[in-house]
Amino acid sequence: MSNEARFRQNVQDYLEGRATPEQVLQMNQELRSDLDSRRAFREMLNLDSALMEATKEMMHETAEVTAELSEESAPQVQFEPTPEKVSASSPDGGNNHHWVSLLFLIAASLMILAGSLVWFAKSPEFAIVEYAAGAQSLSTGMTIGTESHFIQAGTVQLVTTRGTRIAIEAPALFSFESAQRLQLKHGRLAADVPQEAHGFTVITPTGQAIDLGTKFGVDMPEAGEAEIHVFEGEVVAQSTDGGNLSNLRNSQAFRLQSAAGTPSSFRSGAFIQPGEVDSLSAALQAGQPKRSQWALQELRDDPQLIALFDFETEQKQPGKYRCVQGRWPGSQAAEFVNVGDHMKLDVGGERLWPQLTLAAWVRLDHLGEPYHSLLHTDGWDDTKKGQVHWMVTRLTTMRLALRDNKLAPSDRPNEGFPDSQTSVLPEQGRWVHLATVYDSDKKTVRFYFNGKFDSESKLSQAHPARLGPAQIGNWNTLDRTLSGRIDEMLILGRAMSDAEMEHLFAAGNPYR
Amino acid sequence: MWRASNMLMSKTSRNARFVREFACHEEAIRAYVRRLAPSRSDADDILQEVAMVLWEKFDEFQEEGNFRSWAFGFARYKVLSWLRDHGRRRLVLDSDVVALIADESNEEDRHLEQQRHAFRSCFAKLPSDQRSLLANAYHPDMKIQEVAATSGRTTAGFYQWLYRMRQMLLECVQRQLASEANL
């Protein structure tokens, strides 16, 4: 036996408590004098510790499943202490996890003795698919164990055996290590963690998020760093490279970069939440994508159509934005996240448009300062009367401003521009259909939310609309990033009626 | 009355802070102790003592400090004093060797953590019957002879299987980290 092989055998025997005095003597000498032996020793013992953890968790999961299966024989164990209970406990509160593990082991061993080893041979089940909206490889009712899953399109909602609800949006690659540990290689998820599942952890290539009682989201792009967003409660974020822990609370976000992390802007609407997936799924089953396609085809045949961006074509519009999933499984939308993100377009030419309809499916992340551009023609030039700026204001209303137009005197408080009456706030974090209809002859601006007429602003001076070079999601003069996604953007050279608008919304609605 | 409720508040928040820190670093502290302790059950006992000391001393821990290295310091001390107390009756490594391993462990903590991280996916890839057998072998209340018998092996054969599995998992971990480094 070579020296190296003998050393390995000694370490393995030592691990099992079988080493003889002679072997320990040899190990002492070798470890004292040789750096590489010490490294090999540390790595093997480190692995032993990891094996201890993993097998303990396995016992834990199996004990739970068995406890559920045979209620009468299962000891009633409080699985995880709640933070309140822990924080109010006696000074050995830190050992709580330990005692809980110990109780599990006792429970598990009792059951082993009573029921042989049969259930270890069964592959573990950590979660069940509650809804699968357009995800081909997963279907409702399917159970999930340790295998990896790739979803290319759609959204799935899972419930773990501990009751954590997780919505995962494609494209995503993930696998469970246990019901409490989910590896997310890439993709986006939102988790709603009940008290029983505190400590639920999402592990990404650049760091992990440990729940302390929350609703939170993790965005892991295929290349880049994971972002943790806390909707409610508290989460601990930790970079893989051992960076410091960061405690995140309500409406905070954090980017897990190598070694350290940095605060990031909060984007609630970037995540499809548990609870949203069922209505997305119902709409798919009702055949909504087909209806939407027909409605788009009708619009493409409209002689007054100026532009219709559905982001499905292979040729990407110029600009700086991400391509993410749209309203339908596998469809595309543009996502604007960082300051300066935008999409360029140049439509409508030099022509003046007495009537104009603008409509878009939008998913807003956060609102407030500054303005959020839906469509802004470049500049704000007094020689270009009628140039169009369509946005969500810092007061969260919708606005359609045309250069040199004037609002008729009215009782409604406003900032001198035609603004919607309703705020887009309640729809934040879901897909919403925003639209406005401009008529320079009638001197009116009409606003629509989700196909429903909201309000009309009257003008005393109304120029025909002027388009040309413009940006979707920003303005070329000052930052007006729209934080969120835009799916379809319609620019039509005529005024749509209320009935048409209702039809447009109903045909394209991704929810049921 | 005001003071009493204020004190209660601060005690509760101290508890919460401790639990949070300890929960986040428990795995690393446990692994650190395991690298120095002679057996898995000794490591469990020592960890209990370490947790107790950390709890008692938590007021001395600086809010902005590094909890993990703070905890490692106590763990090192606890293991060495445990070896001193139990070493005469037990077959253990010499204290100077353990101290060497402890000090180098500190420097390599990040790398060892990455190894444990990579281990997770290596372990998850094992067929479920092998995972179950490992779980039984690592179960503190199971006799290795019985586990060996359920697997249809002799005890000596089962130990060799166990050694091969650990070696294979370690190689998987090293391979995985090497391939990630080349990305």
Q: Give the SS3 label for residue B154.
A: coil
Which among A155, A204, A216, A196 has a CA at the least distance from the CA of A175?
A204
H or E stretch covering B69:
helix B67-86
Q: Is the link from the previous residue into A263 a cis peptide, with omega within 30 of 0?
A: no
* Amino acid B4: pLDDT: 42
Which among A407, A405, A387, A409 has a CA at the least distance from the CA of A467?
A387
Contact A97, B51 (CB under 8 A): no
Quote the minimal CA–CA distance from B174 to chain A in Å: 10
Structure ipTM: 0.91
Interval B64-84 mean pLDDT: 90
* Amino acid A197: pLDDT: 87
Contact A138, A151 (CB under 8 A): yes
What six digits make up the tokens of A464?
């025909």
Put simply, whether B159 touches A (Cβ < 8 Å) is yes
- C-beta neighbour count of A466 within 10 angstroms: 21
CA separation for the pair B171, B162 (Å, rounded): 14
**What chain A residue is nearest to B133 in terms of C-alpha separation?**
A120
Query: Tokens 């300890």 label which residue?
Result: B22
- Residues B100-109 have pLDDT tens digits of 999 998 888 8
CA separation for the pair A349, A351 (Å, rounded): 5
CA separation for the pair B120, A321 (Å, rounded): 35
H or E stretch covering B144:
helix B144-150
* Amino acid A121: pLDDT: 37
What six digits make up the tokens of A158?
């899972």
Query: Tokens 């107790």 label which residue?
Result: B52
Q: Give the SS3 label for residue A28.
A: helix
DSSP state for residue B43 in the 8-state scheme: H
Residues of A in contact with B27 (CB under 8 A): 53
Helices B155-181, A35-69: inter-axial angle, 10-degree rounding? 110
Q: How far is CA B16 from CA A80, A236, A454, B78, in A?
A: 15, 13, 48, 24
* Amino acid A458: pLDDT: 94
Q: Which of A16, A24, A42 sits opposite B91 (nearest CB)?
A: A24
Q: Give the SS3 label for residue A149.
A: strand
Block means of pLDDT (10 residues each) for chain A, length 512 residues? 88 92 93 94 96 84 55 36 32 39 39 35 74 85 88 90 92 90 93 88 88 88 86 83 71 73 74 87 89 91 94 82 88 88 93 97 82 94 93 92 91 79 82 97 96 95 96 92 92 97 95 92
* Amino acid A64: pLDDT: 56
Q: Give the SS3 label for residue A277.
A: helix
pTM here? Answer: 0.59
Q: What percent of chain B has pLDDT over 90?
A: 42
Q: Which of B19, B94, B101 sits opposite A42 (nearest CB)?
A: B101
Do residue A212 and residue B20 have CB atoms under 8 angstroms apart? yes
Residues of A in contact with B137 (CB under 8 A): 55
- DSSP string over A418-466: -EEEEESGGGTTSEEEEEEEEETTTTEEEEEETTEEEEEEEEEE-PPEE
Q: Which of B40, B92, B120 sits opposite A52 (nearest CB)?
A: B40
Which among A185, A508, A468 has a CA at the least distance from the CA of A348?
A468
Size of the A and B interface in Cβ pairs below 8 Å: 200
**How many residues are recorded in chain A?**
512
Q: Give the SS3 label for residue B38.
A: coil
Q: Show the CA angle centred on residue A332, arms to residues A327 and A337, nearest 5°.
A: 90
Question: Based on C-alpha coordinates, what's the Rg of chain A?
Answer: 29
Sign of CA dihedral B174, A237, A170, A214: positive
* Amino acid B13: pLDDT: 72
Q: Percent helix, strand and coil across chain B, each rounded to 5?
A: 85, 0, 15
Please state whether beta strands A452-461 and A342-353 pair in parallel, antiparallel, or not at all (unpaired).
Answer: unpaired
Who wins on pLDDT, A371 or B2? A371
Contact A457, A418 (CB under 8 A): yes
**What chain A residue is nearest to B93 in terms of C-alpha separation?**
A28
Interval B114-118 mean pLDDT: 91
* Amino acid A425: pLDDT: 78
Q: Which of B108, B124, B132 sits opposite A146 (nearest CB)?
A: B124
* Amino acid B12: pLDDT: 61
Contact B74, B59 (CB under 8 A): no
* Amino acid A184: pLDDT: 94
CA separation for the pair B183, A344 (Å, rounded): 34
Q: Which of A41, A59, A247 sits opposite B101 (nearest CB)?
A: A41
**What chain A residue is nearest to B16 in terms of C-alpha separation?**
A87
Put simply, whether B169 touches A (Cβ < 8 Å) is yes
* Amino acid A103: pLDDT: 37
Cross-strand bridge partners of residue A129: A158
Do residue B141 and residue A210 have CB atoms under 8 angstroms apart? no
Do residue A53 and residue B30 have CB atoms under 8 angstroms apart? yes
DSSP state for residue B112 in the 8-state scheme: H
Do residue A212 and residue B43 have CB atoms under 8 angstroms apart? no
Do residue A49 and residue B30 have CB atoms under 8 angstroms apart? yes
In the structure, what pLDDT confidence band is assigned to residue B141 with cuts at 50, 70 and 90? confident
Residue type, A433: H
Put simply, whether B160 touches A (Cβ < 8 Å) is no
Residue type, B105: S
